[in-house]
Amino acid sequence: MNRYLVEYALNSLLRNKSKNIFIITIFTFLVFLITSVFFISNSIKYELNKTVDHLPQITIQKLQGGKVVNIDSDFANEVLQLTGVQDAVARVWGYYYFQNGGVNFTIMGIDNFENQYTNSLQKIVDDGSTKPFHSDMMVVGSGVEKILQDNFFDGYFNFILEDGTFKKVKVGGVFKSELELQSNDMILLSKDLAYEVLALSEDKATDIVVKVANPNELQTIVQKIQLLDPNTRVVTNEDYKVSYQNIFDYKSGFFLALFITTLFSFFIIIYDKVSGLSSVEKKEIGVLKALGWRVDDVLKEKFYESFILSGLSYILGVFLALFFVYILDAPLLRDIFEGYSVLKTSFNLPFVLDIQTLTLVFFITVPIYVASTIIPSWRASIKDADEVIR
């Protein structure tokens, strides 16, 4: 590397200080924005994929007129009779809209709640709760606890039942804050309580989850279930994985808007460069050639100039994106992903180093900028430089 050439390139950049600072700022901001969004979506996907294998192997929903409705609990027994099915359990879960708080809680009914709590759930519950756990209590996510406290419910909540009466349920535990992404809006109750709160009749269930003995037989069992009742929708573990893959459609909505705006801003910068050099810049190239610089030397210098500018912007943009997303928890951007929900998660996303993303962002910015600088310089430098003398 020719250090004198680099020095010359730096001086050249400093000669147009304000213009270049402007370009660096815009460039860095664009890289920062795109990289941040990619970081967020990659991290969300990562978080989803880390636990996907622990979701139920088969979930059966009942369809009526193309819409999902409650399923008969007895259907679980029918499914249990199929060979290869290890277990089939009817689940009760749904949403409870808390009007004063303007939030949706997800309610999940748990079988054998007290036992499950002492055996496993306790591990993921905050140690703050010292009271002994009863099955008529509920375990809630930290977001739920916060909403309750904001609405003056201290350690309990009054569900409004179907008949208009209140059902008071005490909070038996709050999930650890590390589990916020998964549990923020969750309320775990005993199955009986869930039936009450969700106003579901005892012979119905929300869906049925099935465990199979041999994972390789999953598809066969799915087919068997659908033969049993063609009006069912069967969701497998594999379907979850597919769903997680297409959670972000990069061709539509937010991403499309972002990419178009970014590309547009970027091309404005490029257009300014490609539309040719100013007469001052042309003269400078002429002088350099007169002093013995070859075209290669001129282009090398221009390369250094543009690479320093764009490379620096890229590195700075990535650095800021890392800081913004993983240390500051992406303050404004997360509102786009969280939408109108009142229950905001802390957005404490896992750090995922995706070389693909970083490489992609690099290649759609730096080489294009470098090319847009070199090409007009090349065009100017291959001309006869005798105008310089005039």
Partner 1 sequence: MIELKNITKQYEINKNNTITALKDINISIKSGTLTVLKGSSGSGKSTILSLIAALSRPTSGEVIVDKKQISKLPDNFASLYRRENIGFIFQKYNLIPNLSVQDNILVPLIPNNPDIKTIEDKLHSVMKKFNIFHKKDIEVQNLSGGEQQRVAIARGMINNPKIIIADEPTANLDEKLSLEFIQILKDLKGEGRTIVVATHDPLFFDLDFINDTIELKNGKVV
Partner 2 sequence: MNKKTDTLMWGLFTLMLLISVEMVYLSSTKSTYQEKELFVKTVGLPDLAISTESYFIRHRSLQDISSIFFDGPEHLEYFPSTFAINHNMEQK
Which residues sit at the interface with partner 1, rule CB under 8 A? 2-5, 7-8, 11, 14-15, 283-284, 287-297, 382, 384-386, 388-390
Residue with Cβ nearer partner 2 (76 or 181): 181
185 binds partner 2 (CB under 8 A): yes
Residue with Cβ nearer partner 1 (163 or 384): 384
DSSP run (H or E) holding 135: none
Q: How far is the CB of 328 from partner 2 (least distance, A)?
A: 12
Amino acid 234 reads V
Q: Which of the choices partner 2, partner 1, none does residue 249 contact, using the CB cut-off of 5 to 8 A by kind?
A: partner 2
Q: Which of the choices partner 2, partner 1, none does residue 73 contact, using the CB cut-off of 5 to 8 A by kind?
A: none
What are the CA-CA distances from residue 160 to residues 157, 164, 211, 362, 364 (Å)?
A: 10, 6, 34, 54, 55
Number of residues this chain uses to bind partner 2 (CB under 8 A): 89
Q: How far is the CB of 21 from partner 1 (least distance, A)?
A: 15
Q: Which of the choices partner 2, partner 1, none does residue 246 contact, using the CB cut-off of 5 to 8 A by kind?
A: partner 2
Q: How far is the CB of 277 from partner 2 (least distance, A)?
A: 23
Q: How far is the CB of 61 from partner 2 (least distance, A)?
A: 7
Token pair belonging to 17 = 């200080």
Q: How far is the CB of 272 from partner 1 (least distance, A)?
A: 22
DSSP run (H or E) holding 270: helix 253-274
- The whole-angstrom separation of Cα 22 and Cα 383 is 30
Residue with Cβ nearer partner 2 (228 or 342): 342
Measure CA 146 to chain center. 23
3 binds partner 2 (CB under 8 A): yes
Measure CA 50 to chain center. 13
Place of tokens 């277990």: 87
Quickly count: other Cβ atoms within 10 Å of residue 247's Cβ. Answer: 10
Residue with Cβ nearer partner 2 (129 or 376): 129
Q: Which of the choices partner 2, partner 1, none does residue 170 contact, using the CB cut-off of 5 to 8 A by kind?
A: none
- The whole-angstrom separation of Cα 361 and Cα 126 is 41
95 binds partner 2 (CB under 8 A): yes
Residue with Cβ nearer partner 1 (248 or 304): 304
Instruction: For 32-68, give one letter per residue: b (16+ CB within 10 A) or e.
Output: bbbbbbbbbbbbbbebbeeeeeeebbbbbbbeeeeee
Token pair belonging to 353 = 């180093």
Residues 43-72 that bind partner 2 (CB under 8 A): 44, 47-48, 50-52, 54-56, 59, 61, 66-68
339 binds partner 2 (CB under 8 A): yes
Q: How far is the CB of 248 from partner 1 (least distance, A)?
A: 47
78 binds partner 2 (CB under 8 A): no
Residue with Cβ nearer partner 1 (217 or 297): 297
Q: Which of the choices partner 2, partner 1, none does residue 277 contact, using the CB cut-off of 5 to 8 A by kind?
A: none
Q: How far is the CB of 245 from partner 1 (least distance, A)?
A: 51
- DSSP secondary structure letters along 200-217: --TTEESEEEEEES-GGG
- The whole-angstrom separation of Cα 314 and Cα 319 is 9
CA dihedral 334, 339, 344, 346 (to 10 degrees): -20
CA-CA-CA-CA torsion sign (309, 312, 314, 317): negative
What helix, strand, coil percent values describe the chain, rounded to 5? 55, 20, 25
Q: How far is the CB of 91 from partner 2 (least distance, A)?
A: 7
Residue with Cβ nearer partner 2 (10 or 199): 10
Token pair belonging to 111 = 């079988």
Q: How far is the CB of 374 from partner 1 (least distance, A)?
A: 16
Residue with Cβ nearer partner 2 (324 or 385): 324
CB-based contact 132:120 (threshold 8 Å): no
Q: Which of the choices partner 2, partner 1, none does residue 39 contact, using the CB cut-off of 5 to 8 A by kind?
A: none
